[in-house]
Each structure stands twice: as C-alpha cells, then as structure tokens.
Amino acid sequence: MKRVAVMSVALLAAATLLTGCQKEEVEKLVAPLVADVQETPEAQEMEEEKNPAIPEIDTTLSIESGARIAVVSKSKKGEFWDKVKEGMEAAVKDVNTAYGFKKEDQITMTFEGPDNEEDVESQINTLDAVIAENPSVVCLSAGDMESCQAQLEAAKENGIPVIAFDSNVSDTKLIRAFRGTDNTQIGKYAAYKLGSAIGKMGNVAVFSAQEKTQSAQERVQGFLDNIANYTDIKVVETIYSDQVDDMKEAMKEVLDKYPALDGVFCINANVSEMFLEVNKDNGENKVAMVGVDATSKQQEAIKNGQELGVLSQNPYAMGYLGVENAYRLLGGHDLDEREVNTSTHLVTKENMYSEESQRMLFSFDEIR
C-alpha cells in the first residue's frame, strides 16, 4: 500500500512547511489524521473494499421485477442532492439495462424530501406517507437522527428494508446498511488544514447545520477533537443553525464579537456558501475558511483565494451505491457490509485540477 505511505510522508512534509513546527510536534499533529490508513494488510484490504468505484451489476441475483425504491432525502434542492439523485437514477438505469427489464417490469425510483434540510417535520410526514405506500425498499437520509424512530419501526414491522445514506439514524438496528461519508474524518482533515494555515495559533469558530443530524455531530466533534492538537488555538464559538433565528446574522455577530478571528470551519454546503457571502462583506478582515461539499460557488471561492479548501464528499457514489445495494435487497440477498465509506477528499487551489479532485467534483459517468 505504497500510496498511503507516500500520502503520510506528504502530509508530514506539508505540515512542517506550513506550520514551522518541529518534526516531533508535527508527527503528533498528523498521527490522528493518518491512523486510519496505516500500511497493514488489513488496512489495505479495507481501503480496497471501501473504494467508491461503481460496481458491476450482478445479474446472477434473482430480484423482484417491477419493484419501487422510495428515496426520502434530507432535502431535494441544492447541488449536493442533485448529484445524489443523479447517482441513484444512474443505478436504476444500470439495473434495468443489465436485467433487461422493460415497461412494467422496470425497477422504479421516487425521490422526495423537503426543500430545506432543517424542515424535519416535513421529512417525517413524507416518510410516513412513503411507508404507507409499502415500497419495496426505502433509502433515507435523516434530517434528525432521533425523530424517525417510529417510522423506522413501522417499516420493519411491514417488512420494508431501509438503507440510510448521507446521515445515519440513532437506532442502527432498524436499518440494513449505511452508505455515506466518514464524517468524523471530515472534521479531522478540516482541523489539520485550518490549524496549519493559520500558523497553529489564534481563534477559530465552527458554523454547523442542525445539531440533531448525525453527520453534523460527527463533523463538529471530529474537528474539535483534532484542533485540540494545536494547544494555542482556541475555539471561541460553535454555532448550530437550528439554535439561532438567523444563521447569517449569527455569523455576523461572531465576526463583530471577534474582529481578529483567524479561521472558521463550515460543515456543509449551505453553511459554507452562507459564510462566503458574510466574509465578502467583512472589509479587509477576511477570515480563513475551510468548507464542506465542493459546490460550484465553493470551487470558485477556492480559485479566487476566498476559501482555503473544501472537504468534498462523493454524492454521486453515495446515491449510486445506495440504490445498488437496494436492488440486492429486492431479492432478499444480504449485503456484504453494513457500512461503506464513499470517501472524502480535500480540494485546494493547488490540487483542484488533479485527477482525484476532479473525480470528487464530478460524477463517475463523466470520468469513467
């Protein structure tokens, strides 16, 4: 697994260059970031298994024709969710083509969800309605990891398997699988990038999506745990969007309260784009920023030097693998893994045109 070993060395060299730390300090800092990819046979096997390459459709499986996969997303609007849907639609098309399903025999998919990720009530109502229709499989990205408990229990009682994607649920016994990002790792990489960039000292803030979302909790905690490696960096504020009346105003208040704020971590696309607008109006006191989800606005911000980097998820793969696993359940087949990490990648101005960055910025169909 030479690639991983090289990556570890590169991280160490980059951290030394950016921070001016002694080698021992940098090793202590970087260790948590590379601990998950040590050069062992087990780690190599895991890396290969979790590679989000699109799998071939296995036509040896006996599956139910005419089945319906019902997707209840955290939201149906935004570039991220568009890519998730695109991946799901591609998977449905590939399954139907591989099996030769036509007309009424085709596997179908519905994609529903609120316009706003924070509209949990609307998502729960949609989930209620979907389960009442008795679909073959449900794919769910939970806006609140606790609120859908009753609906998941109803699905189980009615023999409807559920696959979680993007954001998991609290009671994982009620789902068959999870396909999404290692969100703790996102927080780790954000802490490393931001801490290094601001010279391992100063004040930083965290701006997050709603607190009850599993992905938000893990990203924030991953960041806080790893920014603590920089003993001279203080996290002065952690703001969740569902705990304030107006997130943009809350951001402005933080900037007013801490005029010498050095950096911020924004944990998803909506919050990242919101802060870019606020930071643009902050005069000469521009704050270093690391965001999540490589939307077109964030890509432009990276090009223009307004954003240090973005942790890009792979929404296309997330969607494709969610549906690809759903079709396996249609015939009562077990899944090989309960959880699959669809990967993440730090995109910066220096590497955004690399093959790996482009693979994470665009769908697999555009590069395979």
* 296-334 pLDDT tens trace: 999 999 999 999 999 999 999 999 999 999 999 987 888
* pLDDT in the model for residue 37: 32
Where does the pLDDT of residue 264 fall: very low under 50, low under 70, confident under 90, or very high at 90 and above?
A: very high
Q: Average per-residue pLDDT in the chain?
A: 85
pLDDT over 60 at 83, yes or no: yes
State the greatest distance between any 2 C-alpha atoms of the chain, in Å, as a whole number. Answer: 66
Measured N-to-C along each axis, helices 2-19 and 23-34 cross at an angle, to the nearest 10 degrees, of 140
**Residue type at position 73:** S
Q: Reading across the β-sheet that carries 345-348, which strands appear in turn? A: 232-240, 201-208, 263-266, 288-292, 309-312, 345-348
Q: How far is CA 133 from the centre of its chain?
A: 29
The CATH homologous superfamily of the domain defined by 68-180+314-343: Response regulator (3.40.50.2300)
Q: Return the number of other C-beta atoms located less than 10 Å from residue 254's C-beta.
A: 20
Find the range with the poorest average confidence among 136-150, 176-190, 214-228, 276-290.
Answer: 276-290
Torsion of the alpha carbons at 270, 51, 112 and 136, rounded to the nearest 10: -160
Q: What is the pLDDT of residues 171-229, one digit of tens each?
A: 999 999 999 999 999 999 999 999 999 999 999 999 999 998 999 999 999 999 999 99
Closest of 292, 338, 340 to residue 313, by C-alpha? 292
Between strands 263-266 and 201-208, the pairing is parallel
Give the Cα separation of 172 and 174 in Å (integer): 5
Domain made up of 183-312: CATH architecture = 3-Layer(aba) Sandwich (3.40)
- Range 142-153 average pLDDT: 95
Q: What is the pLDDT of residues 115-130, one digit of tens each?
A: 999 899 999 999 999 9
